[in-house]
Amino acid sequence: MKPLPPEAIEQVAAYFQVLAEPTRLRLLNLLREREYNVGELAQASGTTSANVSRHLSLMTKHGIVAREERGTSVYFRVADEHVDELCDLVCGSIASRMQAAAAVHEAFKAML
């Protein structure tokens, strides 16, 4: 990563802060599949429509999701294609660390 000015660091931190909340990650995981409206997301995520709306509002503000009005419904989709790449990168890193830890655990088990 190149050195960043303080203003950019604040924006990057705010972006990661949005992604650091489990409910928002659940919503993004659902939105990776297809577009949803608030009611569908609430049902699929097991939370209330008000809670989903609050999270979607924040993610829309940061450009992570986009909203589109269709008649009386509003549908949401992932707007930042880099979110998928970022999530895949983080998940791959976590999986690698878990595999390494499992290998060490198995080595110790074999010693017993």
**What residue segments make up the domains of the chain, in order of their start?**
1-80, 81-112
- Residues 112 and 99: their CA atoms lie apart, in Å, by 20
pLDDT of residue 1: 66
pLDDT of residue 109: 78
What the block records as the tokens of 110 is 């074999």
69 and 38 Cβ atoms separated by less than 8 Å = no
pLDDT of residue 21: 96
Q: Say which CATH topology domain 1-80 has.
A: Arc Repressor Mutant, subunit A (1.10.10)
Task: Give per-residue pLDDT as tens, 68-97.
Answer: 999 999 999 999 989 888 878 887 888 888
pLDDT of residue 35: 97
Cα 34 off chain centre by: 14
pLDDT of residue 90: 83
Nearest to 58 by CA among 20, 107, 94, 3: 20
pLDDT of residue 105: 77
Task: Give per-residue pLDDT as tens, 13-67.
Answer: 999 999 999 999 999 999 999 999 999 999 999 999 999 999 999 999 999 999 9
Task: Please give the full DSSP string across 10-65, using - where no structure is assigned.
Answer: HHHHHHHHHHT-HHHHHHHHHHTTS-EEHHHHHHHHTS-HHHHHHHHHHHHHTTSE
Specify the pTM. Answer: 0.80
